[in-house]
Amino acid sequence: MIAIITGDIINSQNTDSELWLPKLKNLLGSWSATPENWEVYRGDEFQLKCSVDEVFSKSLMIKSLIKTFENLDVRLAIGIGNEVFLSEKITESNGSAYVNSGRLLNDITTEGRTLAIKTENDKVNRDLNILFKWTSIDFDSWSVATAEIIHRLLINPELTQEELAKELNITQSSVSQRIKRSHFDLIQETDLFFRKKIAEL
């Protein structure tokens, strides 16, 4: 069983891709090799293959990265399933994980949602998609400053507030306030819940 994230950048046509695209590619490239495990195509769409237990945290890393750019957001469709054909290019591989993810992206685009999951288990789908609808209310409203903090903490959870303050050139108290506003503890709890729920598959 594998996880596939199919995503597309919202408002990409109004932002210079030279600003966000290299950073997205760097993030995806830090996880695995292209084009077998990830690829950006048609300018603002992408696919990523990863392990099932890491797919939610990786989705949040992508989301928080893109939200560090003013007026940008990202739709993320998570498909869980099998892989029956492995190609040298992820966009040519196939299996239920790919089909679930690709079709789901079309559905959430029509529905105006930005995060959803489809597995072979209807109960898991129902439970996690209700959770995602609630969390998206928060995720979709992240400011650039909030997204910066969340992204850095997701990438490197060991960072201290002092180190973050130095990186962002702000005071330690400002870092503390941003972390509280970001509900980062709740994000971590949600990731743990996701991992337990997905283990039911």
DSSP-based three-state secondary structure for 67: coil
14-62 pLDDT per residue, tens: 899 999 999 999 999 999 999 999 999 998 999 999 999 999 999 999 9
CB 145 within 8 A of CB 151: no
- pLDDT for the residue numbered 74: 98
Helix (H/G/I), strand (E/B), else coil: 53: helix
Per the CB < 8 A criterion, the answer to whether 70 and 20 are in contact is no
pLDDT of residue 159: 92
pLDDT of residue 152: 95
pLDDT digits (tens, 9 = 90+) for 84-123: 999 999 999 999 999 999 999 999 999 999 999 999 999 9
In this prediction, residues 170-180 reach a mean pLDDT of 92
Give the Cα separation of 101 and 60 in Å (integer).
16
Amino acid at 195: R
Instruction: Quote the pLDDT of residue 201.
Output: 83
Q: How buried is residue 97: exposed, middle or buried, by Cβ count under 10 Å (0-12/13-18/19+)?
A: buried
> For the chain, how many structural domains are there in total?
1
Q: Which residue has the higher pLDDT, 47 or 200?
A: 47
**Domain ranges, residue 107:** 2-199
Output the domain CATH number for residue 174.
3.30.70
* Residue 126 scores a pLDDT above 90: yes
pLDDT exceeds 90 at position 5: yes
Radius of gyration of the chain (CA): 17
* Model confidence, pTM: 0.96
User: Could you give the CA distance from residue 190 to residue 103 in angstroms, rounded to a whole number?
Assistant: 25
**Among 150, 148, 133, 161, CA closest to 184:** 150
Closest to 92 (Cα-Cα) out of 31, 165, 4: 4
Place of tokens 């007026």: 71
Q: How confident is the model at residue 171 (pLDDT cuts 50, 70, 90)?
A: very high
CA torsion through residues 70, 28, 94, 57, sign: negative
Tokens 């597309």 correspond to what residue? 8
Residues 6+ apart with CB under 8 A from 147: 63, 64, 65, 66, 67, 68
Give the pLDDT confidence of 127-164 residue by residue, as tens digits: 999 999 999 999 999 999 999 999 999 999 999 999 99
Q: How confident is the model at residue 200 (pLDDT cuts 50, 70, 90)?
A: confident
